Amino acid sequence: MNQELSHFPESLHSIASSLAIEKGEKVDRAKLIQVILLKIEKLYKEYLQHGFKVVKLLWESYATSIGKHIVARTLTGSIEGKALGINEEGVLLIEDADGMIHHIYSADIEFPENKM
């Protein structure tokens, strides 16, 4: 969180970062956690009142994978295709090359360089 560039191996300097590097100053950890938890609480209250729709819209507004070619690595294998977004239950939908839509509940997502 408060790492400086010198804390990372030189080979990572071009891609490494931290909150302190991005902000240009040290970050108060307690304050950061407080802000995060307050935002989570607010979203949770919205969810209880209005369902998943609010969270879904927010997630989709920040998602960088929608419409892009991705690889989802799950415990049972990898699925490659176009990310369509998430459904009303929060499940990631991926359309493979054959047009089949896969429901991804948990995965590591990668963007293959040669397909972006």
Q: Among residues 66, 64, 63, 69, which one has the least CA distance to residue 81?
A: 69
Expressed as residue numbers, the domain containing 46 is 5-50
Q: Is residue 55 part of a domain?
A: no
Any domain includes 56: no
pTM above 0.85, yes or no: no
Say yes or no: 78 and 101 in one domain: yes
Q: What is the pLDDT of residue 113?
A: 73
Residues 81 and 104 reside in one and the same domain:
yes
Q: CA nearest 65: which of 102, 25, 104, 111?
A: 111
> Token pair for residue 64?
């960088």
* Side-chain-side CA neighbours of residue 22 (13 Å): 7
Can you give the pLDDT of all 116 residues of the chain as single tens digits?
889 999 999 999 999 999 999 999 999 999 999 999 999 999 999 999 999 988 899 988 999 899 999 999 999 999 999 999 999 999 999 999 999 999 999 999 999 875 54
Q: Are 42 and 72 members of one domain?
A: no
Kindly state whether residues 79 and 33 are assigned to the same domain. no
Which of the 8 DSSP states describes residue 7? G
- What integer pLDDT is reported at residue 114 of this predicted model? 57
Tell me whether residue 84 is in a domain: yes
Say whether both 22 and 46 belong to one domain: yes
CATH number (domain holding residue 75)? 2.30.30.100
- The two beta strands, 101-104 and 92-95, are antiparallel
The pLDDT of residue 116 is 44
On whether the CB atoms of residues 115 and 108 are closer than 8 A, the answer is: no
Which pLDDT belongs to residue 69?
96
Q: Are residues 65 and 106 in the same domain?
A: yes
Give the burial class of 33: count Cβ atoms within 10 A of its Cβ; 0-12 exposed, 13-18 middle, 19 or more buried.
exposed
Same domain, 109 and 65: yes
Residues 18 and 45 reside in one and the same domain:
yes
Are residues 72 and 104 located together in one domain of the fold? Answer: yes
For residue 106 the two structure tokens come to: 């948990």
Total count of domains within the chain:
2
For residue 40, what pLDDT is reported? 94
Would residue 40 count as lying in a domain? Answer: yes
